[in-house]
Amino acid sequence: MIGKAIFGGAGLLALACAAQAQAPTPVSYTADIAPLLEANCATCHLTGEEAGGMSLVSDSALSFLVNKPSQEAPGVLRIAPGDPDRSYLVMKLEGSHIAHGGSGARMPFGGSPLPATEIAKIRAWIAAGANP
Ligand code: HEC
């Protein structure tokens, strides 16, 4: 659990110390991210016609997110591959969107924030390139 949240340095250290050390499993869009979006987000972000202007259903989420400009924060991409800190989706999940020129509520709208472990998964997936 703890190891999962810390990638780069910790991963290298683990490799150096013991080849058998459990390396962090790469995050898969299909196995990890799509189900998370479907369960927590797609109820509202269903067709792309709703507020927010994007569908987060697994088949269409990538085309609405990756390298697409956010509506709320001018100049900020929804997902900047390789750069979770510059991805508006992450800001909306962590509640830092206002500080980055965005607006509206922290996501999921009206609900509890996602657990830190889930946000860490999304961050890791974006850091690795936000691949399908
Ligand atoms: C209960 C409905 C609801 C749920 C659930 C919900 N959203 Fe939203 N979302 C909205 C509404 C309404 C807006 C527009 C107003 C706002 O930002 O507060 C929005 C806006 C957004 C935006 C801004 C889009 C842009 O281009 O500016 C992002 C990103 C976003 N949501 C991500 C998510 C994610 C990720 C989840 C799941 C963890 C999620 N939302 C869950 C209703 C919801």
Residue-wise pLDDT for 49-108, tens only, equals: 999 999 999 999 999 999 999 999 999 999 999 999 999 999 999 999 999 999 999 999
Q: Residue 18: pLDDT above 80?
A: no
Averaged pLDDT of the chain? 89
Domain that holds residue 86: 27-127
Q: Residue 24: pLDDT above 90?
A: no
Q: Is residue 16 part of a domain?
A: no
Alpha-carbon gap, residue 123 to 110, rounded angstroms: 22
The total number of structural domains that make up the chain: 1
Q: Is residue 1 part of a domain?
A: no
Nearest CA residue ID for atom 15, ligand 1 = 104
Report the atom number in ligand 1 closest to the C-alpha of 72: 27
Q: Is residue 132 part of a domain?
A: no
Q: Residue 38: pLDDT above 70?
A: yes
Could you tell me the maximum CA-CA distance found in the chain, to the nearest angstrom?
Answer: 51
Q: Is residue 10 part of a domain?
A: no
